[in-house]
Amino acid sequence: MRHREHDEQVLFFRCLAILEGYGVEQAGLTFAVPNGARLVSVRHAKRMVMEGLRGGVPDIICPIAVGEHIGLAIEMKIPPNKSTVKQKRWQADLRRYRWRVEECHDGIEALKVWVEYHGLTPEQVRPLSEWIDG
């Protein structure tokens, strides 16, 4: 299951790389949060926490204000996985500070949320359909 979340997030960021290549500037300002500290050595995980890593932070962050929102945060969860208590706390706190927060179940859903958030036109996302269909 963990690898599927990884694969879906990779798909999402590949799509953003294509959009960035076609001049969609917001794509280059969206980033992943390295929450996989538990996957490395205990020593490295402790160093990451000392550097400010926080459990529960959403997987994908786009710190661009749009409309009433300060930014967009996406938590990638492949069913049957669900957000943990710590993740739900982060999501609620971000919403309280006017972030849009979404839980997405695959890379395409996350991309749709991201595109809608930024109000991209069909012309701006056309390179994606050409890449996906081609």
Say what the pLDDT of residue 1 is. Answer: 46
Q: 4-54 pLDDT, tens per residue? A: 888 999 999 999 999 999 999 999 999 999 876 555 678 877 887 888 878
Give the sheet arrangement for strand 72-76, strand by strand: 31-32, 60-62, 72-76, 100-104
Asked if residue 3 lies in contact with residue 27, where contact means CB atoms within 8 angstroms, the answer is no
Q: Where are the alpha helices (DSSP H) in 22-120?
A: 42-50, 85-96, 107-118
Write down the domain spans for the chain: 2-129
| Separation of alpha carbons 118 and 133, rounded Å | 23
Assign domain 2-129 to its CATH architecture: 3-Layer(aba) Sandwich (3.40)
DSSP secondary structure letter of residue 91: H
Asked if residue 66 has pLDDT above 90, the reply is yes
Q: What is the pTM of this model?
A: 0.90
**Residue 72 forms beta bridges with which residues?**
62, 100
